[in-house]
A and B are shown apart, each in its own frame.
Chain A
Amino acid sequence: MKALNDLGIIIGISLMYAAPLMYTALGGVISENAGVVNIGLEGMMTIGAFTGATVAYFTGNPWLGFLTAGLAGGALAILHAIACVTFTADHVVSGIAMNFIGPGLALYLCKIFFDGAAMTLPLDLDHKIPRPLNGLFPTDSFLNSIFNQYATVYIAFLLVILVWFMLYKTKLGLRLRSVGEHPRAADTLGVNVYKIKYFAVILSGIFAGLGGAALSIAVVSNYRVSLISGQGFIALAAMIFGNWKPHGAMWGCLLFGVAQGLVVYLGGTSLKVSSQLLAMIPYIITIIVLMVFVGEATGPAANGIPYEKDRD
């Protein structure tokens, strides 16, 4: 029984860890399949995390906060799209700019809305994203550890299916991927390359914004400057790990989550391993899996290459 409960705790922690990453990684999948590298996910997550916590605090409605977080991420992504698509700027440089603008803007606005404080005020439990299955299972039971999650966790899995469907089963998805593989060919066939790229980048910002909010109003209940510290990049790694595919990215995020769950579990046992070594495990696992199993990850052919229609 003890072993089962422990397993439940590990799985529960994995899901909590993975969910915000999954949103963001899906955003990366969408953008990069349309040929725009988005390393600005981190900045878009930050602005989403801040907006979600702030709107939820002032309106008392977490869902409104969650949605506006997506919009805020999308708004920042418009800048990235303008730079990368319209002005054919280097995607990485623009992405780095996003990672400065996002946290900077979040801190600046935070100080305006919260009397100069570098953090938003906490939401109480009733005003956070709900836990739909709360109270269904006995506390501390195996099933409760796994399934008593915030709604954002379930939505993340739903979105994986939706994004997969959009990319591989719809006309839009086909066009989006063709723009990422060979924009000129797509263009000659009458696909509006710029429009598709704009759509993909903005959608990726919306997903990253949702990912940030999944942290600030579900995992915890407020935004502070250090809340998003590296998650955007881990999501990016998970996306590459998953070979630029939505389900692959999901597995990448889950693997990272499980690794973290194991670390927390092992750290709580009487096993005497230094906590510094334990803390490295998730990253070491990620590197090993990347080397051994993924090795030949190849993204969309025209990923990261600016497309200019009128070049001969």
Chain B
Amino acid sequence: MKKRLLAFLLIAVLAFGIVGCGNKGETPEEPEDSTGTEEESPEEVAETDIKVAMVTDEGGVHDQSFNQSAWEGLQQAEKDLGVKVSYVESQQDADFAPNFETLLDAGNDLIWGIGFKLSDALLDAATNNPDQLYGIIDFSYGDETPDNVVGVLFKAEQPSFLVGYIAGKMTETNKVGFVGGIAGDVIWGFDYGFQAGVQYAAKELGKEIEILNQYAESFSDVSKGKAIATQMYQQGADIIFHASGDTGNGVIEAAKEQGKWAIGVDRDQNYLAPDNVLTSAMKRVDVGVYNVVKELVEGNFPGGQTVVYGLEEGAVGIAPTSDKHVPAEILEEVKEIEKKIIDGEIVVPYNEETFEEFMKTL
């Protein structure tokens, strides 16, 4: 009997411990480094009553990835536009729905879900509360988008084209590689954009460049990423671009071990291997979030639509640390290519069909 009681107590202590940890993240808290809270917002900014909040996934608001980037976008919006911002962190998938509920009760004007993982919970919340505005990053509900929801996508093929161009210009073995996460529309954008960029450079230089291409079918298997990259490097590739989430950690590790180049994705990944990450194809989630908030403040919230941001909006691009390893003259050329893409002179392909068309125009 005594034993059972002890067992019960042990479980109770553990359970409370866990609940305690869980609660911590759920109360929106202002991180120390955030600037401009309610009281100290700069005076020149017109005060609005608009409140914007976001729900992160498990990564949390300092994940050094898209959650963090989104929060930076909101903080920027607070500074420039005078909106009030807050966030709620999710500890697990089951937290998404209650977190949306919490932010709804807090009287926010716009609630963000950061990442496609939140798409189901967000759609539920949006259909149940048609008067509340929602936004989701990296997801499109297509024609089914409710009027109170905006989806935000990024033209991943554009920065991929730019890093492909850099790779094409810089390869010494005339062989480069691409490691994809899970094959599908999203990663194909990176894949074909990159291939097109490499071919564009090859055409300019008047040479043939071979592109090795392999999918890990996982966004988290670092061993597989490393294995694929190791094999590509041994087959003679000297630069590999990855669009494979955390699997790419293994790709960058392989570059480090073999003393070759890797190209990062989504954000500036140079800090992972400062001597081996040549550049990164960046997706500026902060710019996407900021733009939508701005439109909301200006009264043009693009509800019921999916907005797609690209080079023109400054929402994608190459990493700022690129000048460490990429020669200045190549960076100059990249700037010109950027201009050509914005002007529509180069139409970057995003799938097999458009890629074949692109190759015909080369």
Contacts and interface: CB of A to CB of B under 8 A. Distances in A.
Nearest to A227: B222
Contact of B222 (A82, A86, A89, A219): A219
Interface string A121-149: 11011000000000000001000010000
Given A5-B234, A268-B231, A275 B250 contact: no
A268 B212 contact: yes
B62 A117 contact: yes
B22 to A, nearest CB: 9
B64 A118 contact: yes
Given A83-B10, A219-B226, A224-B249, A118 B60 contact: yes
Given A222-B249, A264-B227, A104 B18 contact: yes
A28 B131 CA distance: 54
B176 to A, nearest CB: 14
B3 A115 contact: no
Given A82-B10, A264-B224, A279 B253 contact: no
Given A275-B217, A278-B217, A117 B63 contact: yes
A276 B271 CA distance: 31
Contacts of A215: 222-223
Given A16-B226, A226-B220, A9 B183 contact: no
B26 interface: no
Q: Interface on chain A toward B: helix, strand, loop, or mixed SS?
A: helix
A118 B63 contact: yes
Contacts of B271: 121-122
A87 interface: yes
Candidate in B222, B228, B230, B245 with the most chain A CB atoms within 10 angstroms = B222
A219 B60 contact: no
Given A226-B246, A275-B215, A122 B272 contact: yes
Given A104-B21, A220-B222, A264-B231, A275 B214 contact: yes
B115 interface: no
B235 interface: yes
Given A220-B249, A267-B215, A276-B183, A260 B223 contact: yes
Interface string A1-41: 00001000100110011001000000000000000000000
Contacts of B224: 260, 264
Contacts of A118: 58-60, 62-65
Interface in B252-282: 253, 256-257, 271-273
B163 interface: no
Given A224-B249, A268-B235, A229 B220 contact: yes
Contacts of A226: 219-220, 245-246
Interface of B: 3, 6-7, 10, 14, 18, 21, 31, 58-65, 91, 183, 212, 214-224, 226-228, 230-232, 234-235, 245-246, 249-250, 253, 256-257, 271-273
12 contacts: A9-B230, A20-B223, A101-B18, A215-B223, A219-B223, A220-B250, A226-B220, A226-B245, A264-B227, A267-B228, A268-B231, A268-B232
Given A101-B18, A219-B250, 12 more contacts: A13-B231, A16-B223, A89-B7, A118-B63, A125-B257, A219-B223, A227-B222, A227-B246, A265-B231, A268-B228, A276-B217, A279-B218
